[in-house]
Amino acid sequence: MTQRVELATVMDRLAVDGLITEYAVTVDDGDWEAYRELFTPDGHADYRSAGGIEGDAAQVAEWLTQTMERFPMRQHLIVNRRVRFGPLEHDTGDTAQVRADYVNPMRFAGHDGDSSAPDFVCGGRYEFTLLRTDNGWRLREVVVHEKWRQASRTRQEPAAT
């Protein structure tokens, strides 16, 4: 590999990492317009394993708008990112596959407890398919593979003795 190719690969990795981070931030902040802009025109997402829907970016953004109202506090942590670049029409580096694990603590709306612990936490793995476009890297597909979830138990009064 030449230095030029190595530098281009590093720059692509940074751009891909930035896009994945932007994805997490737009969901956590509820910026659904920015969420849609992260996708290619034919981009879609599949949240079925987490009880959601599959559809194009606009459909999924609309579903997220309604669903995430229940969780005003959310914080995606996307880690262990594995990036693989691939060819598109015989030009290497125009596509990327990213597999990354996530943990997502959330708080239900109307939570009136004094605990700072989240009410709901889920985790699993994302599969992102990215495409290099004239506007930079964009998401072509997002697939969520939820592996676990945990809801906090309601606090119970101690039993009378």
Per-residue pLDDT of 14-50, as tens digits, reads 999 999 999 999 999 999 999 999 999 999 999 999 9
- Cα–Cα distances (Å) from 149 to 51, 102, 121, 123, 143, in that order, read 11, 12, 6, 6, 17
Q: 4-18 burial string, b = 16+ CB within 10 Å, else e?
A: eeeeeeeebeeebbe
User: Dihedral of the CA atoms 102, 147, 72, 157 (nearest 10)?
Assistant: -120
- 47-79 pLDDT, tens digit per residue, is 999 999 999 999 999 999 999 999 999 999 999
Long-range Cβ contact pairs of 85-93 (< 8 A, separation 24 or more): 85/9, 85/12, 88/131, 88/132, 93/8, 93/9, 93/12, 93/132
Predicted model pTM: 0.86
User: Six-digit token pair at 1?
Assistant: 């590999």
**Residue 160 belongs to a domain:** no
What end-to-end distance do the CA atoms of the chain give, in Å? 74
**Residue 64 belongs to a domain:** yes
133: closest CA among 22, 17, 6, 16?
A: 16
**Residue 157 belongs to a domain:** no
Band the pLDDT of 133: cuts 50, 70, 90: very high
If one counts the domains in the chain, the total is: 1
Question: What is the extent of the structural domain holding 79?
Answer: 3-110+117-151
Instruction: Please state, rounded to an integer, the average pLDDT across all residues of the chain.
Output: 88
- Which residues of the chain form beta strands (DSSP E)? 39-46, 54-56, 73-74, 77-88, 91-107, 120-133, 136-151
128: closest CA among 34, 45, 8?
A: 45
Which residue in this structure is represented by tokens 């597999």? 99
**Residue 58 belongs to a domain:** yes
- Torsion over CA: 99, 103, 108, 109 (sign): negative
Band the pLDDT of 158: cuts 50, 70, 90: very low
Report the CATH number that the domain containing residue 59 is assigned in CATH. 3.10.450.50
